[in-house]
Structure 1
Amino acid sequence: MELLKSRGGAAVPVVPEDWSYIALGGRHRTEQISSNVLWAGSLWGVLHLILGRSWGEKGFLTVNLESGEHEFHAIPSRPVAALAPVKVIAGDHSKLRRRVREVVQEIPGGIKGKIVRLRLEGAFPQDLLALSR
């Protein structure tokens, strides 16, 4: 059985029967390929919320190597606030800080415990660094 020829890597020949369990990575959802070959999924589980595509629940697998039994354990996702892009003027750090504060204050319930996606159009990298000061 040939598995995993992605991201420019070489194909890796694998005989699943030679292994108790084969854990595959690099996909955002858990998927069983055969009885002992599984894509593990993602603990982050954020990208699908931001992009609007669902890849299933986030979580992790536990595997009993002797019996071959496996179990998926779902973990809660943090809420995501994906905000509309905000146009800013490059180089005006105080105005940029003020605009970010205004937009963030509009999020219902605030930002505590949330993942916030805010795209700033027109800002240079040095403008973004100024936000951390």
Structure 2
Amino acid sequence: MSLTLADINAAVRLAMPGITVVGNDFITGNPDDCAYVRITGGGPPSEWSSVAYPAFQVVIRSKLAATAEAKGNALIAALHGKTEFMLGSTRVVKCLADQSTPWYLGPDESARALYSVNFTLTTSL
């Protein structure tokens, strides 16, 4: 079982159609309406079983704050509480959002709105 950034990116792309999703950080050349996914570690794995708790962050940016916020809310609606699915070769028992609404991070250097949504997974063999 090895959860990868590519596996999470694929799930986020399905949950937020119409927005470019990249790994770890924005780079020059990404469109204004874009998101990046970053694996953030999560809690320690179980000492006694195959259960683990990986976590990830999705930062969404857009020229319009309402667009970024709406994409974040759509992501929460799609993934929060989702159970028994696969991310690549990893069995996800449960996916929970770490907050109820997207968190506004402020504008970037080009005045695009940034919002963050964070999730914790429960995985097992």
Which structure has the larger Rg over C-alpha atoms?
1
Greater relative contact order structure (CA < 8 Å, 6+ sep): 2
Task: Provide TM-score, normalisation by structure 2.
Answer: 0.27
